[in-house]
Amino acid sequence: MHRSALRITNLQKAVRPLPQQLTVAPPVSVQLRTKTSSSPGERLSQSKSMVLQDSDLHQKPISRHRRNQSQHGIAGAGAMGTSVELQGEYLNKAKISDGGKKHRKNWTSTWVVLDADQLTFYKESKQEALANLKPGCKPDGVALCGALIDWTTEKSSRRNVLQITTHTGSEYLLQADCYTTICKWYDAIKKTVNSLVSTYLLLHIMRSYLNRGRSNMYWTLTIYYFLSDMFTSSKLKHSTSDSADKSGVKNRLKKFIIRRPSMKTLQEKGIIKDRVFGCHLLTLCEREGTTVPSFVKLCLETVERRGLTVDGIYRVSGNLSTVQKLRFMVDQEEELDLDASQWEDIHVVTGALKMFFRELPEPLFPFRFFELFVEAIKTKDRRQKVQAVKKLIQQLPKPNLDTMKLLFGHLQRVLACSTKNLMSSQGVSIVFGPTLMWPEMDCGNMAFNMLYQNQIVEFILMESRDIFDLGM
């Protein structure tokens, strides 16, 4: 339960601005006794609750490196008291990374000013610096929206060092010889960062979930609704005892889970839409009321209209970012015109089609049929082999059978233009073998599986007229 309480606290900080009462009032349940040591041998005497509180999370970590250890008291170290007005102060600053690109560490004494949403660095006091600033020039600064701040003992051998990482990946180190001074800046910057976590950051988090798959959208909204409820609830205050705090979190979670909107409700309201890519073929066809996915039909029709004679059709890869853009539009169920200028490159369309088949939870050739097709393709007699493969295909579920029949009929027309598109049956089978079938459990013999995948697809392609009873 202690870890759960900590995770919830971290989620609260990551998604919404913390209310003032949460950042100002220290937990009543924490008791801290501090005794300033007069000699290096004396130790600090502390007594704490076992439940981690916010003040525990930003205390300076203790380094085992002897140069990083300091012997001063920590009375002002974690105070999240009233807001501190910081007009400016000289601190040591070093920029160690710019957008992820490492920089050589170079400490400089800088006049640092904490503004409403950023830290600004001046070579001298703000008034003198602004007076000497050239027209059109701006002082160096760090945007704090979406930034992270933490103590660090690994990035420098100096003591009392804090690290600021911006949302763009730039990293700054701030240091002061006086521990109380640097703690004052840590607390002030931390409060500013918390106050700047806005709806933009929430949308950024939700967008990152969506990019991994729309099924995560439900839990993204669940987290959002829960945290909104936690922050707006008047009951969200620090408890006077550990047991009360635990039971309070438990009760809020129970009530929320009971009344949270169901997946069906969110789908009916249009908040969550069923995806196309990564959806099971049977489920997708049932939803669309067809036996062949609409996207597959649309892609095949587009290729036959303007791509049959294109050199390397299906073998050449399209631009991945454009393919992903097309995928996103399909998943959003937006109106799609594959003849539009943005899809002018036919390889983008074929790339999206191949991606659709690769991302099926179960391939077009279902898992339970993989070994059966492998055994069938080993048959020596051609007629018996055709009959064995045909019998297996006829046992497939209706969506798999119809989609397979449409696809292989299309690939037959691609081969009919082989003199122009330079695609042979072997080339097509190399592309579609691993795309249309793979074993459920990968036993590590990838080369063995790929050999049979290609052979099966090529054989069906060459004998598709007999297997699918296609007309001439």
pLDDT 10s digits, 78-121 = 333 334 456 678 899 998 888 778 888 889 888 888 887 788 88
For residue 27, is pLDDT > 50? no
From residue 28, alpha-carbon distances to 18, 31, 53, 320 in Å are 18, 8, 10, 55
Classify burial at 373, counting beta carbons within 10 Å of its beta carbon; exposed 0-12, middle 13-18, buried 19 or more: buried
Percent of the chain with pLDDT over 70: 61
Euclidean distance between CA atoms 242 and 190, whole angstroms: 25
| Contact assessment for residue 389 and residue 404, using Cβ atoms and an 8 Å cutoff | no
Query: Binning pLDDT at 50, 70 and 90, where does residue 425 land?
Result: very high
Euclidean distance between CA atoms 46 and 35, whole angstroms: 9
- Token digits of residue 141: 């600064």
For residue 250, is pLDDT > 70? no
Residue whose C-alpha is closest to residue 142's, from 182, 176, 93 = 93
Q: pLDDT by residue (tens digit) across 346-400? A: 999 999 999 999 999 999 999 999 999 999 999 999 999 999 999 999 999 999 9
**What is the value of pTM for the model shown?**
0.48
Q: pLDDT by residue (tens digit) across 216-237? A: 555 555 555 555 554 454 344 4
Euclidean distance between CA atoms 220 and 201, whole angstroms: 13
- Token digits of residue 119: 């830290």
Euclidean distance between CA atoms 298 and 330, whole angstroms: 11
Indicate the range of 191-205, 324-338, 456-470 predicted with least confidence.
191-205
